[in-house]
Amino acid sequence: MNLTKHWAGQLGDYAIDLAWSPDGALLAAASAAGPIVLFAAADGARRHELPGHESGANALAWSPEGAPALASGGQDGAVKFWDGATGQHTATAALGAGWVEHLAWGPALAAACGRKLALLGPDGAIRHALPDAPKTFTALAWRPSAPLLAAAYFGGVRLLEAGTGALKKEFPYNNGIQALVWSPEGRWLVSGNQDPSVHLWIPDEEMELQMSGYETKVKHLAFDRSGRWLATGGGRDACVWDCAGAGPEGRAPAMFPHDAPVCALAFQHRHGLLATAADDGTVMLWSPDRRQPLRATVKMTQPPTKLAWSPDDGQLALGSAQGAVYVLKCENG
Amino acid sequence: MIPVTVLTGFLGAGKTTLLNRILTEQHGRKLAVIENEFGEVGVDHQLVISGEEELFEMNNGCICCSVRGDLIRILGRLLKRKDKLDGILIETTGLANPAPVAQTFFTDEEMKAAYRLDAIVTVVDAKHVLTHLDAGDESVKQIAFADVILLNKTDLVSPAELAGLEERIRRINAVARIHRTQNAGVPLDRVLDVGGFNLERAAELDPKFLEPDYPFEWAGVYSLPAGDHELVIGHEGVEHDHGHDHGHEHHHHHGNENELDVALLPVSPATPAHRAALQTDEPSSPSPFAAQETEALRAFSGPEMKLRPGDPCRPGPGLLRLLLEQGNGRYPLRVDQAGLYGVFEGCGEEPLHILVNGQPVKPGWQRDYHHTHSHDDAVASVGIQQAGQLDPQKLNAWISELLRTQGGDIYRMKGVLDVKGKDQRLVFQGVHMLFDARFDRDWAPGPRMNTLVFIGKNLDRAKLTEAFQACLT
């Protein structure tokens, strides 16, 4: 297994989000200060520099289908839409006075702005303004291949229908939720929590589990393609739970150790590698299925702010606090 | 770590004036200001974020475990910058309890690692704060929590009112730095990045505040000849201006209005230091009559002897309970030996006179004590200052137990402690049930001193001191 530098680019400020276009041709990178750069995946050429959000950008999401369309959320309370091919600003949806910190593009673009939540069309039109939550929304995740959105806030997780915006179900959880993820087949819904723990629901079976014992709040979650391995942050180890069958209860998790708190995690889309990064700048690749899971280690000069696998799993993009964007090639050999 | 200043104060106290000064003055710091949802300042070159108070009750709605979720989110986002900020200023709403804001910095690892709660700054309106304090509302908490207090609008009150107000504030919070201001005019380095939690002023603590809460409110030492004199309570038949006569208009009596507890204790032997203390009005510390104060403390906690008007009395150990008639009473006082005699009075508001040959005698030395002891719900400070090395396990066990059982009543706790086997000072601070302790720099050469301060309700000084002493090795 080999990780080699492919190209590097620069943003003006902290790389707050990275997103590959679905065709893998572009890497969008948002700077915390506001501007967004579209890099060519092949060589790192700066295709377009988008003004982004004047008071700061927070999140990026590509439309999963059709012509390449990028959405960005900012501290101006707006979601902006950009044409990936031309770099043109195509629409703006103003959601409120809060920050737009969470975007998830599934059957519609879900955007959270403070306690408000809206489902938007690619033209920026608000299809559904969903009921406000009692506290700020902190995570969004579409159920894979289903028109169902999970939205977390302090107090619980709501399941909302894409077509009507109707509230289908609400799971109470009396603590802060930092992250949400669905397993790829949509069986498990998992939250990473402030308390610090990981909570798992099987919505169709009315079953739930709580896994605790973390050092710190759990901000990072990732499922592998098979739905078996759930990787979680929340300390110096990436803690990987086996979710096969009845789930992780009673099973010891695999602990993938780092020397510093884990700051990012990402599983490949179609293959089984897990990338983990820690505050000391170390990036590691793991195969949870193997007896010797560690596959590669790279040391960066700064801790990655984000990890993102390209759609074909051949490239791993990393952002830095100083605004650098690195793309590494991942090759077997 | 980035210093965080929390700005509290009632509406109209001058918080916005101070905030505007911080935002517009050239102080060379890149700050982010998180204003409350009703904030009204907006300035270009500093980062102003409007927060909306979002309480996260981490443990069944207990206020001691509540944190500000919005701050965790906003402060987390503020770390995502290429150039770190020089400081954060958090403005709370006038009615806010500062506890959840402070607790946010003790519970969340990310906040703890990146930020340092530098100081809680409370702006107080000198003209109106007494009304709030008397109403017993959140302003008491805002003063109790403060590291720095701006006593603002001093131009609207008289110097005497101001002194009284400062005394009242001191009784609640003995360790905050108090600055008297008009238009919130204070050098900004007294407000920003002051290291308020660090108890650097430990050595300057008001000595009064390190003393026990005496069960008496006033004491006077008289030089009396041998003979038959008279102890007189009340104004009846006594020329004024000679005895102990406060003349306060609002007479707040504790307990039965027609009972007054008094201890009459000989100062024996009277030393030249005692006699010198009678010749000067300068307060001195430690008290020249500390031995008598301790004896009076014992007398006030022992059994009492009841005296009706006309019943004779003598100086000696024990407590006298004078039964008054409409606030008045005269008691023959037999003194066998000429000398100095201390009179300790349970309620300092009662006019008390000693008549020798029918003429009132003036006490040569007198002192007022804290008036808070009889209000159990009053917010007050207890300080402990003592040398000696602490056993870390015992200390930990004591503090854990204390916070578990009394955390709701303890608003603030701060300490600089000498722990056995450590060259560094253990600096710790707490808010309700949460606390943070770390070893900071080495002790300076020379003697070390443990300093511990509690601010809160129902604090039992004797019990706290005893428990602290039990942790010494």
- Cα–Cα separations (whole angstroms), residue B2 to A241, A280, B7, B48, B89: 36, 20, 16, 17, 11
pLDDT at B323 over 70: yes
CB contact under 8 A, A215 and B109: yes
pLDDT at site B207: 60
| pLDDT band at B376; cut points 50, 70, 90 | very low
Q: Chain B residues with CB inside 8 Å of A264's CB? A: none
pLDDT at A49 over 80: yes
* Surface of A (227-286) touching B: CB under 8 A: none
Judge whether A211 and A193 are in contact, CB under 8 Å: no
For testing the chain B interface, which of A214, A216, A279 should be mutated: the one with the most B CBs within 10 Å?
A: A216
Q: Chain B residues with CB inside 8 Å of A98's CB? A: 52
pLDDT at site B297: 83
The mean pLDDT value of chain A amounts to 95
Give the residue from B94, B74, B96 showing the smallest Cα distance to B85.
B74
Strand stretches in B153-258, DSSP E = 177-180, 218-224, 227-233
- Greater confidence (A31 vs B462) lies with A31
CB contact under 8 A, A194 and B72: yes
| pLDDT band at B42; cut points 50, 70, 90 | low
Bridge partners of residue A168, in order along the sequence = none
pLDDT at B256 over 80: no
- Greater confidence (B66 vs B255) lies with B66
pLDDT at B38 over 70: no
pLDDT at B249 over 80: no
pTM, whole model, 2 decimals? Answer: 0.79
Please state the separation of Cα A157 from the chain's center in Å. 17
CB contact under 8 A, B72 and A138: no
Most confident of A300-304, B52-56, B256-260: A300-304
Which of B58, B73, B108 minimises the CB distance to A136?
Answer: B73
For residue B92, give the 3-state DSSP assignment.
coil
pLDDT at site B252: 45
pLDDT at A23 over 50: yes
Bridge partners of residue B111, in order along the sequence = none
- Give pLDDT tens digits for A228-243: 999 999 999 999 999 9
pLDDT at site B87: 94
For residue B82, the distance in angstroms to the closest alpha carbon of chain A comes to 5
pLDDT at site B22: 87
pLDDT at A313 over 80: yes
- Return the residue of A nearest to B58 by Cα: A175
For residue B132, the distance in angstroms to the closest alpha carbon of chain A comes to 31
pLDDT at site A259: 96
Q: Classify residue B439 as exposed, middle or buried by CB count within 10 Å of its CB (0-12, 13-18, 19+).
A: middle
pLDDT at B46 over 80: no
pLDDT at site B208: 61
Which of B69, B77, B82 minimises the CB distance to A176?
Answer: B69
Question: B31-35 and B2-9 as β-strands: parallel, antiparallel, unpaired?
Answer: unpaired
pLDDT at site B52: 78
For testing the chain A interface, which of B44, B50, B54 should be mutated: the one with the most A CBs within 10 Å?
A: B54
Two tokens, residue A185: 């087949």
| Average pLDDT rounded to a whole number, residues A3-22 | 96
| Average pLDDT rounded to a whole number, residues B278-299 | 79
Q: Chain A residues with CB inside 8 Å of B50's CB? A: 97
pLDDT at site B228: 94
| Average pLDDT rounded to a whole number, residues B81-92 | 92
For testing the chain A interface, which of B60, B82, B111 should be mutated: the one with the most A CBs within 10 Å?
A: B82
pLDDT at B372 over 50: no
Give the residue from B320, B323, B321, B318 showing the smallest Cα distance to B308.
B323
Judge whether A21 and A28 are in contact, CB under 8 Å: yes
Helix (H), strand (E) at residue B42: none
Inform me whether the C-beta atom of residue A63 falls under 8 Å from chain B C-beta atoms.
no
pLDDT at A329 over 50: yes
- Give pLDDT tens digits for B150-167: 999 999 999 989 988 988
pLDDT at A114 over 90: yes
Q: Label residue B221 left, alpha or beta by phi (over 0 means left) and psi (-120 to 50 means alpha).
A: beta
pLDDT at site B440: 84
Could you give the CA distance from residue A128 to residue A162 in angstroms, rounded to a whole number? 9
- Give pLDDT tens digits for B114-144: 998 899 999 999 988 888 787 767 788 899 9
For residue A244, the distance in angstroms to the closest alpha carbon of chain B comes to 32
| Average pLDDT rounded to a whole number, residues A301-314 | 96
CB contact under 8 A, A323 and B82: yes
For testing the chain A interface, which of B65, B80, B104 should be mutated: the one with the most A CBs within 10 Å?
A: B80
- Give pLDDT tens digits for A245-272: 989 998 999 999 999 999 999 999 999 9
CB contact under 8 A, B69 and A136: yes
| Average pLDDT rounded to a whole number, residues A201-215 | 93
* Surface of A (149-168) touching B: CB under 8 A: 154
Strand stretches in B227-318, DSSP E = 227-233, 259-267, 304-307
Q: Chain B residues with CB inside 8 Å of A13's CB? A: 81-82
Could you give the CA distance from residue B161 to residue B182 in angstroms, rounded to a whole number? 15
CB contact under 8 A, A32 and B110: no
Q: Chain B residues with CB inside 8 Å of A97's CB? A: 50
- Give pLDDT tens digits for B430-457: 888 888 888 888 998 888 889 888 998 8
- Give pLDDT tens digits for B102-116: 889 888 889 989 998
pLDDT at site A223: 98
- Give pLDDT tens digits for A119-176: 999 999 999 999 999 999 999 999 998 999 999 999 999 999 999 999 999 999 999 9
Give the residue from B223, B150, B136, B155 showing the smallest Cα distance to B190.
B150
For residue A65, the distance in angstroms to the closest alpha carbon of chain B comes to 30
CA atoms within 13 A on the CB side of B126: 26
Which of A32, A99, A217 minimises the CB distance to B81?
Answer: A32
- Greater confidence (B250 vs A205) lies with A205
CB contact under 8 A, A194 and B70: no
Give the residue from A115, A113, A118 showing the smallest Cα distance to A100.
A113
Contacting A with CB below 8 Å, chain B residues are: 50, 52, 54, 56, 58, 69-70, 72-73, 77, 80-82, 108-110
In this structure, what are the phi and psi dihedrals at residue B382, rounded to the nearest 5 degrees?
-125, 125
Inform me whether the C-beta atom of residue A135 falls under 8 Å from chain B C-beta atoms.
yes
- Return the residue of A nearest to B109 by Cα: A216
Could you give the CA distance from residue B144 to residue B152 in angstroms, rounded to a whole number? 17
The DSSP 8-state label assigned to residue A184 in this structure reads: T
Q: Chain B residues with CB inside 8 Å of A194's CB? A: 56, 58, 72, 108
CB contact under 8 A, B69 and A135: yes
Could you give the CA distance from residue A104 to residue A151 in angstroms, rounded to a whole number? 10
CB contact under 8 A, A216 and B56: no
- Return the residue of B nearest to A34 by Cα: B81
Could you give the CA distance from residue B381 to residue B209 in angstroms, rounded to a whole number? 7
- Cα–Cα separations (whole angstroms), residue B179 to B5, B28, B95, B143, B185: 16, 23, 22, 13, 9
pLDDT at site B373: 46
pLDDT at site B470: 95
- Return the residue of A nearest to B48 by Cα: A55
pLDDT at site B248: 39
The mean pLDDT value of chain B amounts to 84
| Average pLDDT rounded to a whole number, residues A220-230 | 97
pLDDT at site B251: 42
pLDDT at B13 over 90: no
- The proportion of chain B whose per-residue pLDDT surpasses 70, expressed as a percent, equals 85
